[in-house]
Structure 1
Amino acid sequence: MTTHRTTVAIVGGGQAGLAASWFLGRDGVDHVVLEAGTAGHEWADTRWDNFTLVTPNWHCRLPGYEYAGPDPDGFMTRDEVVRWLAGYAPTFGPPLREHTRVTSLTQRAEGGFLVEAEGPEGAEAWEVEQVVVATGGYHVPVVPAWAPALDPTVDQLHSADYKSASRLRPGGVLVVGSGQSGAQIAEDLHLEGRQVHLAIGDAPRVARFHRGRDCMTWLAEMGLYDTPVASYPGGLAAREKTNHYVTGRDGGRDIDLRQFAAEGMRLYGRLEAGAGTELTIAPTLRDALDSADDVYRSICRDIDAHIEAQGLDVAPAEAYRPVWEPETDPTGLDLDAEGITTIIWAIGYRPDYRWVRAGVFDGTGRPTHTRGVSAVAGLHFLGLPWMHTWGSGRFLGIAADAEHVTGVITGRDDRSIERAADLAGRRSPGPLNTSAAVA
């Protein structure tokens, strides 16, 4: 095994790991970025062919690098995101080692850490003083424990493996989960003319546009994405919330499941169990639709309040009115009777940090930390959803999180969210004035 020495090892070469490298490079800190595949490969590997961002392009800002295309309020496709992110590393030349998969991280008795990996030339080890784990929070796709009991003639795949309607067998498709991936995959299949069945959970929704502007632009200016998680109602429990569903397809629009249903999509409540071709469904459809609409309206009201408080002269509000109501609340579904040949599980991921040998994880396997800094000296995390704010884990919030973590590493004074936002070139938000945080 070849042994190397450096000051900091960054595990993961996605946008979070590269952002940390940018700051460490700026501050003259020796480090290495270890990436199992190629930098940013997740965007190409785990998004479907017609994927688009749900956040406006102007959100795409990393330290020293930002979207500079012709449509800042539009939504890049998967391939455009891949190309944009691929242009980042060449702007500053990070010490990036691709195709180097970290297999273990342990504390050394004499101090620091030993990072072991498999690289292009075989096994290697890195003796380092500090580590930044920037592998994100989505590692192992979740499927129900009873999924193997379903009829084997029905294909099953996770949302991470879905690419297009044309790659699926003919027949109906059941999408399970109505978070961002589930709702957008259901939309993709629906637009391709497939018979879609969608089992929805408790995901909220948000308007794409309100009063002449994108809702996410309004919320950014209201300061929502920069508010620390501890300041939200329920505090750290906000990390468990599902993101609102919306789409960037065709220039961006609402995802209205009621409209899809009016056009022929079949909607169901929460999927509870199954065996063979029979599925059991909780009668939660009506409540789930109403709850998602309530959040939609709540966010619009918060934006209205912000507009009024700022005295802005913008387009008038338009109230949402439901276009469809379920006649029944189904409690079962027969896959064979409905001609369903494929199930797509879009119910999330679980973390997998078994390679990190340190006592910093809670009972669910998630790292415990304060703004990315763990209780083990020198061990840090970056790129987690809700790591510090709602913007964490998104392009919009990475600069602030990365500067804070690297500031702890170097021991210099933290330059604050506002300073990191300036470095990323992002517009400064106004004061927080919204209850959308609880949505």
Structure 2
Amino acid sequence: MRAPLPTHHSVVVIGGGQAGLSASYHLKRHGIDHVVFEKNRIAHTWRSQRWDAFCLVTPNWQCQLPDFPYAGSEPHGFMPREEIVAYVEAFARRTGVPVREGVAVTRVARRDEGFLVETSEGHVTADAVILAVSAYHIPKIPAMAAGAPKGIVQIHSSAYKNPDQLPSGKILVIGSGQSGCQIAEDLHLAGRTVHLVVGSAPRCPRFYRGRDAVDWLDDLGQYEMTVEDHPLGEKVRGNANHYLTGRGGGRDIDLRRFANEGMVLHGRLTGIENGRLTLADDLARNLDAADAVYNGICALIDRHIAEKGIIAPEGAHYSPVWQPGEPVRSLDVEAADITGIIWSTGFRSDWSWVDLPFLDETGYPAHRRGVTDVQGLYVIGMPWLWTWGSGRFLSVGRDADFVVDHLAALRANEMGSTPARMAV
């Protein structure tokens, strides 16, 4: 039986993933009393919301949690799901995180000069709160899903595990972001016939001119570009990730090649009514746009190589291996022998349990580099919190360091002392 929950902590961290654990690491360095609440288990999302064949899209060397970089034998490999979970758990053990698993936070509100945190184990107060719960809270399935035929199996991509969980027949995957494309590939490699609804997500080469494209982009400083320096500004946070995979040692995902091999590609889904899909006439445009981004990345790398005088193998830009024919604008699900639908349509945020005025007009946390306008309230672990690497193992530790430094300075100012750092 574990010890009762203390009634007060200097800092409450909510979320036991890599962001919350990184915050705990830096809080310990500063000698700041804190607790980490995780409503499930450490690394829950990696453990339960990824399919069986899942592996990292970014190379292992980008796993750089604070003072705990990847130390395995394959820095340019791609860890499978079980190894990702083991990496996060090992970091938690090494850090000695004061985490309380199985404790759900149900409300955060103001309390005098600090905060009231209501949990499934009781209420505590805190001087500061760090929200380390990302922005992906509730699987998003459009209301149009109700128009699918009765008896069709429908799941969200976060619930997909493997092809065997789906009934025999053809499978419709809706959404061509990273998850949608990789799940479509997983089904395709298992010999299933896949219908894929293709959206506007861009794609990226896996390897180009002798190296992983991620290595080249890192050399170019792309992962260090801040949200304030990006041409799109804060709008970049809404961009879809490029699709590619680390599976099988890493490779491109080429939807045109899949089409040559029997995958059926469609334009965007605009509606489902009485078991019939309505599809947009934008497949060719979406494929062309994804390929344009792919070749744009190749061109960026070419310029870098030329400007720096780097000796590298020649590389060919992508040329389409397949072109769509007459678009299918309407498809009867049952007549097409589609027995299952996977909605790879992302997530929506749910901040309803945070009873504080910290959201902007769009419902997104208003912050600068994780520091909100509510004094003592912070957010970390979100895509493009500060840089492209913020939502990855690469930079989440640095974001946590900045946030905790800000928090420690605020505490020191209030107490009239100098913030101290302690070794972990």
Between the aligned partners of 1:143 and 1:41, the Cα distance in structure 2 is: 21
Q: Which runs of 4+ in 1 moved over 4 A?
A: none
Any conservation in 2 of the 1:3–1:124 contact (CA below 8 Å)?
no
Partner of 1:436: none
User: What is the aligned counterpart of 2:30 among 27, 30, 37?
Assistant: 27
1:88 is the counterpart of 2:88: no
Q: Which residue of 1 aligns with 2:305?
A: 307
1:339 aligns with 2:337: yes
Look up the match of 1:424: none
- TM-superposed CA distance for 1:167, in Å, is 1.0
Identify the match of residue 9 of structure 1 among 7, 12, 18: 12
Encode CA deviations 1:176-223: one digit per residue, 9 max, x unaligned: 000000000000000000000000110000000010000011111111
Residue equivalent to 1:173: 171
Letter of the structure 2 residue corresponding to residue 357 of structure 1:
D
Letter in 2 for 1:145: A
Matched to 1:253, the amino acid is R
Task: Read off the aligned partner of 1:411 and give its amino acid letter.
Answer: A
Aligned equivalent of 2:218: 220
Aligned equivalents of 2:31, 2:89: Cα separation in 1: 23
Amino acid at match of 1:274: I
Structure 2, unaligned runs of 5 or more: 412-424
Q: Aligned partners of 1:296 and 1:30: how far apart in 2? A: 47
After the TM superposition, which of the residue ranges 130-139 and 323-332 deviates more from structure 2?
Answer: 323-332
CA distance in 1 between partners of 2:35 and 2:77 (Å): 34
2:268 is equivalent to residue 270 of structure 1 = yes
Match of 1:358 in 2: 356
Aligned residues of 2:147 and 2:275 also touching (Cα < 8 A): no
Q: Structure 1: 5+ residue runs without aligned partners?
A: 414-439
Count of aligned pairs between the two proteins: 408
Counterpart amino acid of residue 328 in structure 2: P
> What is residue 287 of structure 2 aligned with on the other side?
289
Equivalent position to 1:388, from 386, 389, 392: 386
Contact 1:226 1:389 in 2 (8 A): yes
Secondary structure at the aligned position of 1:291 is classed as helix
Cα distance in 2 between the residues matched to 1:297 and 1:389: 23
Identity of aligned residues (%): 47
Aligned-residue RMSD, C-alpha: 1.3
TM-score with structure 2 setting the length: 0.94
> What letter is aligned with 1:40?
A
Supply the distance in 1 between the matched residues of 2:148 and 2:380 (Cα, whole angstroms). 38
The Cα shift of 1:276 comes to 2.5
8 Å Cα contact 1:33/1:96 also seen in 2: yes
Q: Does 1:128 align with 2:131?
A: no
| 1:80 CA drift (Å) | 1.2
| 1:80-133 superposed Cα distances (whole Å, 9 cap, x missing partner) | 11111111111120111111110000011x211010101xxxx31111000000
How far apart, in 1, do the equivalents of 2:101 and 2:164 lie? Answer: 32
Asked if the contact 1:132–1:382 (Cα under 8 Å) also holds between the matched residues in 2, the reply is: yes
TM-score norm. by structure 1 comes to: 0.91
Matches within 5 A, 1:20-419: 20-108=23-111, 110-118=112-120, 123-411=121-409
Mapped contact 2:298–2:317 kept (Cα < 8 A): no
User: Please, which moves more after superposition, 278-287 or 84-93?
Assistant: 84-93
Q: In structure 1, give the amino acid aligned to 2:21.
A: L
